[in-house]
Structure formats: C-alpha cells, structure tokens
C-alpha cells in the first residue's frame, strides 16, 4: 500500500498522542489510500488514490 495520494499528494501526518495525565508521545495518521484503476488521458492506469479524491470525483475510475 502506498503512503501518499498520487492526485492530491496527501501523505502521513504527525502529531502527539496525549494521555489522560497529559504526557505526550509522537504518533502518525495515515490517509486511507486505495489502489484503483483510473482513466487518465483515455488509458487505464493503476494509481494510489485517497478516498477523499475518489469520493469528490477528482479521479475517474476505470473498468
């Protein structure tokens, strides 16, 4: 599975995991990346695309 979206370049974000006692440790959030067949310039191609781009219609899915 890819780590970033090939359409919008969304990648892994980092931040802090904060406990109840307010201790902080590093953690990361990964986007929901799907390997789909997309139609680009009339030809189907496999791409790693986030679900936000799929849902908003930025990528036309192939057969």
pLDDT at 55: 95
Domain of 36, CATH number, reads 2.30.170.40
27: containing domain: 1-63
Distance (Å, rounded) from C-alpha 30 to C-alpha 12? 5
Work out how many domains the chain is built from and give that number.
1
pLDDT at 3: 87
Report whether 14 contacts 6 (CB < 8 A).
Answer: no
> Taking all residues of the chain, what is their mean pLDDT, rounded to a whole number?
93
Report whether 57 contacts 31 (CB < 8 A).
Answer: no
pLDDT at 63: 74
């Amino acid at each position: 599975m890819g780590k970033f979206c090939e359409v919008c370049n969304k990648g892994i974000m980092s931040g802090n995991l904060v406990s109840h006692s307010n201790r902080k440790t590093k953690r990361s959030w990964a986007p929901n990346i799907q390997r789909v067949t997309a139609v680009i310039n009339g030809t189907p191609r496999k791409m790693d695309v986030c679900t936000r781009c799929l849902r908003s219609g930025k990528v036309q899915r192939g057969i």
